Amino acid sequence: MDSRSPRSEKTAYLLILLLALGLRFISLGLPALTDSEAALALQALGIAQGADPALTSQVAYVNFTAVLFFIFGSTNFLARFWPALAGTALVFVPYLFRAQLKPRAAILLAGFIAIDPALVAFSRQVGSPIFAVTFFLLALAFWMRAQQRPAGLFLGLALLSGPSLWTGLIGLLLTRLFLLGFTPREKQTEESSMSESLNTEDELLNTEQHTLTASPLGNTENWSLNTDYRSLLTASALTILFASTLFLIVPQGLGAWLGSIPEFFKAQTAAPFLSVPMLFTVFAAYELLALLLAVMAMLRGAITTARRVIRLSMWTLVAFAVPLLYPAHLPDDLIWAVLPLLTLAALELSRHLQLPRTDVLETVGMAFFTVLLLFFAWLDFNALWYTPLSTAQGKLRIWLFAGSLFLLIVSAALVAYGWSPRIARVGLAWGAALVLGAFTLGAAWGATGLRNPLSVELWMTDAPIAQADLLAQTVKDISEWATGDPFDLKVIVYGVDSPALIWALRFHPVERVAGLDESSAPALVITLPQESLQLAASYRGQDFAWRKAPMWDQFSAFTLQWLTYHELPTQTDTLVLWARGDLSVGTQQSR
């Protein structure tokens, strides 16, 4: 593909957009909402129904979703619609930075964003950091293009997107400080003088043209002189005012978004989600292609002192280090490291994909041979999870896996020596990109939760809900059989703290109680298994699997099983639905 051709470039972005839409929207409403997702969806539902719910700091999501619920009704699909749309819009951010990245690298970055497992998973979750990431990067892009009003609009939306924004801002601030610390004072003085001369020239020429040639983490003094802060701040203030209050319909939203700061500190002081070695082991399994390319780019940048690569490398390292400073070690925070990592990978891969005008067959042959060896290596690794490593067959599999990689290295070296280093390099890059790209696409499909219902994904920090649809359907059937109306019977929820349960029963009259009156006889009661009913009527109960929490503490014992099929043991919590005896078909049974 010739990235210099406008038609080819538009076609590439269109194909990438379709791929991103498919991964983010297909069966979007199929998995039941988790507790954290349902808590936000219930806030939006309350606004749509005219209630006055207490809001958390993710005001942008709640208000935008409330509009959808008011017009179309409340569904799982609509609850996840805006995060999926924001995740899809993220693929256009590289186009806005194409002047810094060059067209080919920008297209590759858009493709990486479309299939990245972390970004796909976060785009399919309510309350994920995808809102903050997309809106902030759009604000940064328009700011660099000297378009202050859209920059202010997206900055305001980013501030309404919850506590994740502060993780990204802290990482960028630390990166800037480190870059200033590593830059010699004489060089900073020289850059400042150049900036002054460029700003003087900009007053006579075109401000936007100069801004487009700046580096995202480069010298920002010239940006500040070209920024119309009045337009920027006015657009941000108006966005916060009208978006947080839903055009003054929800006044409590104006103060709710400020809660992102205490929420940020509260989240970071929680118990560790995973240990640091385990966190990065699991992360590397998702980002294998990007990590390999990014490491190559970092090494090249250190040798050639390429300023753009050095800045992105520093941003990547700092963004990885920031989650380690917090006790919680939340996977959500790693999304800010994914973006510079993918950028480095795109810059590096763009250097190796240009096919030579001569020796095309030799290059294609090297690529084909690379695909075969990597595929063979994956088959051997995949077989290790059911082959004990202590057995002779297990040891043979390990030797075959290592031998395949060693043979690939030797073959590339021989091709470089016998034909040319360019044939070996380009062929190896094409073959590895195809295999590892397919691996990344498979990991992205797994991150959707659609490939295997039993899969355990790093990005799903909240326990999945197992039988929400079955429980809701059972309540509906009992109500319809007893009264003729599937949503007539009232459901009493006792001793269960689960927003996902309230969301699943949102079409039914539901009451949460702290205790049960022994003289009462409600039609339907939901309790925990250890609760016993002491009521004035007989009841029949049915248990339902509810939360299925992955047992990450057993990861070391099931490492190969997770790496190959993303499966881990889970711990299941159950609920019991009690129906009064006279509502059920069949003989009444005593409680």
DSSP helix, strand, coil percent of the chain (3-state; round to 5):
65, 5, 30
Give yes or no for residue 272 having a pLDDT over 70. Answer: yes
Locate 19 and state its tokens.
């791929």
pLDDT band at 360 (very low <50, low <70, confident <90, very high): confident
Read off the pTM.
Answer: 0.88
Give yes or no for residue 65 having a pLDDT over 90. Answer: yes
Give yes or no for residue 137 having a pLDDT over 80. Answer: yes
Q: Pick from 125, 155, 18: which is nearest to 61 by CA?
A: 125
165-169, 173-177, 218-222: which has the minimum mean pLDDT? 218-222
Query: Is residue 436 within 8 Å of 292, Cβ to Cβ?
Result: yes
Locate 217 and state its tokens.
């983490």
Q: What is the pLDDT of residue 77?
A: 97
Give yes or no for residue 197 having a pLDDT over 90. Answer: no
Q: What is the pLDDT of residue 205?
A: 33
User: What strands lie across the sheet with 570-580, from one edge to the other?
Assistant: 510-513, 491-494, 524-527, 570-580, 539-550
Share of the chain above pLDDT 70, in %: 90
Q: Once rounded to an integer, what is the mean pLDDT over residues 524-544?
A: 87
Handedness of CA 119, 298, 289, 399 (dihedral sign): negative
Per residue in 304-348, pLDDT (tens digit) is 888 889 999 999 999 999 888 888 888 888 999 999 999 999 999
Q: Pick from 290, 569, 547: which is nearest to 444 by CA?
A: 290
CB-count exposure of residue 304 (10 Å: 0-12, 13-18, 19+): exposed
Share of the chain above pLDDT 90, in %: 52
d(CA 93, CA 83): 16
Phi, psi of 230 (to 5 degrees): -65, -45
d(CA 493, CA 161): 31
d(CA 454, CA 474): 23
